Structure 1
Amino acid sequence: MGKTAIVIGGLKGIGRAISQDLVHHGFTVYATTREEVADTGSEHLIPLQLDVTSEEDVEIAMNQIGKDRLSLDVLVNNAGVGVFKAFEEITTQEWENVFKTNVLGILQCTQKAFPLLRQRGGRIINVSSIATERKLPFNTVYAASKHALRGFGGVLGEEWAPYHIFTTNLHLGATYTDIWKDAEGFSAEDMLHVDDVARVVSFIATTPLHVRIDDITVTPPKGVL
């Protein structure tokens, strides 16, 4: 049986590019979305409806993979939301929404994936942000959530190393997706493309497990932007 991956948030933008590139590299990929699923046109790219904030949804998804494939080789934690405005304007509800998805949801997905990953070892790839390395204004809540993810990933990389389950925190500079279409002052030419990110994820995913890759930072030529 070939290798299996699940990409959380894997049917739009960066996540879709990652899912498709992993399929190109021989993986059967389960790609999750909060929206209604539709046929992807590929037997190796399987859509799953999943809200990372729902423990029931996560359990159902992992149980399906266990039933279909018995084990899991790669978990890509790509789901994320952000609020980008002055700190004093951010509401408690906005803080909670960001942390429920970017932190608690990711922790939940990772914990539920453990029984599948430990079958033969595997990799966890956390899609993080350059905000963990650069101090960017109007980025407090998002940066805080990504710092939490980075801390979690670093410790888990040590804790699960005896099972040959390794965690990579992937810190991305600005990456062009549809959310930038109407943003003034930003050019797609100055940003990473989703395919750039996908190639890096596939490199990590296909690297043999005698190699650890704890952190990778990927930015456009100009730096953050």
Structure 2
Amino acid sequence: MEQKIALVTGASRGIGEAISHELSKNGYITYAISRGGNERNNDDRLTHLPMDLRSEESIQEAFSIIERKHGVLDVLVNNAAVMINKPFEQFERADWEDTYATNVFGPIQCIQQAFPLMKKRGGRIINISSIMTERPLPQSALYTSSKHALNGLGEALSEEWYPHRIFLTKLCLGATYTDMWKNVGGFTQDDMLQVEDVARMAAFIAQTPLHVRMDEIKMTPPKGVL
């Protein structure tokens, strides 16, 4: 049986950490990526690696480790993101640059690096998106627009790469309790999805045979979108 390889960005906590553990629990050799990560093995199937999505060199270095060790990649989860909440007129250039570097340009480079590793036997790319691309909240213009950009990229590549059996799935999440929501008023943890819910769905997508295409999956709490 072929050993499956996965890489998850933003994996030091929250959704990314939960997805990394769920994939490793399901037999994937999983690389949990974060800015502050260090190369250490939790066990035979989970390795933490440093990668800064704002740095092309850092991204290339992380993927080169996977290429040297395995030569293939089966699953890429673009989870890492930053969200700055404030009125649009208060955004500064540094806010735009940091958000788009992390939420858009970094994932673009990860997808480019993943392509030659996935082309050998097919694979899945899961882009973690947000219900705010459909139902935006006030003061979320920067985050919401960056998720729209990632959605558009995934939709286009779904049409370009299916002959290679490389499929992109937009996993669109309603309110999910993470650190991002700690300072947002009007929401409680009980009203939201839990990170474990998202992790189980990501593992389901990852393990689905490659004769099935899943362009979009939407998850929301029982009470509705947000």
Give the TM bin, normalised by the shorter chain: over 0.9
For residues 178 and 81 of structure 1, do their structure 2 counterparts lie closer, same or farther at Cα, with a shift above 3 Å needed? closer
Query: Deviation string for 1:24-50 (max 9, x for gaps)?
Result: 111000110101426453221111100
1:26 aligns with 2:27: yes
SS at match of 1:127: strand
Does the aligned pair in 1 maintain the 2:37–2:48 contact within 8 Å?
A: no
**CA 1:86/1:184 → structure 2, altered by over 3 Å: closer, same or farther?**
closer
TM-score by length of 1: 0.96
Q: For each residue in 1:124-178, what CA deviation from the matched residue of structure 2 results, as whole angstroms up to 9, or x when unmatched?
A: 0000100111132111011000000000000011111111000001111111123
Paired position in structure 1 for 2:149: 148
Alignment RMSD: 1.4
CA contact (8 A) 2:51 2:59 kept: yes
In the alignment, is residue 57 of structure 1 matched against residue 58 of structure 2? yes
CA contact (8 A) 1:37 1:49 kept: yes
Q: Which residue identity lines up with residue 94 of structure 2 in the other structure?
A: Q
TM superposition outliers: structure 1 runs of 4+ over 6 Å: none
Long gaps (5+) in structure 1: none
Give the TM-score taking structure 2 as reference length.
0.95
Q: Would you say the 8 A contact 1:11–1:19 is kept in 2?
A: no
Q: Is the 8 A contact 1:132 1:146 kept in 2?
A: yes
Q: Distance in 2 between matches of 1:68 and 1:181?
A: 39
Distance 1:36 1:154 in 2: 30
Q: Name the SS of the counterpart of 1:160 in structure 2.
A: helix
SS in structure 2 at match of 1:47: strand
**Structure 1 residue 181: deviation in Å?**
4.1
Partner SS state of residue 41, structure 1: strand
Counterpart for residue 136 of structure 1: 137
Number of residue pairs aligned between Structure 1 and Structure 2: 225
In structure 2, distance between residues paired with 1:87 and 1:170: 26
From the superposition, tell whether residues 105 and 224 of structure 1 become closer, same or farther in structure 2 (CA, over 3 Å): same
String of CA shifts for 1:46-84, please: whole Å, max 9, x gaps: 111000111111111111101111101000000100111
> Does residue 109 of structure 2 align to residue 108 of structure 1?
yes
Letter in 1 for 2:65: Q
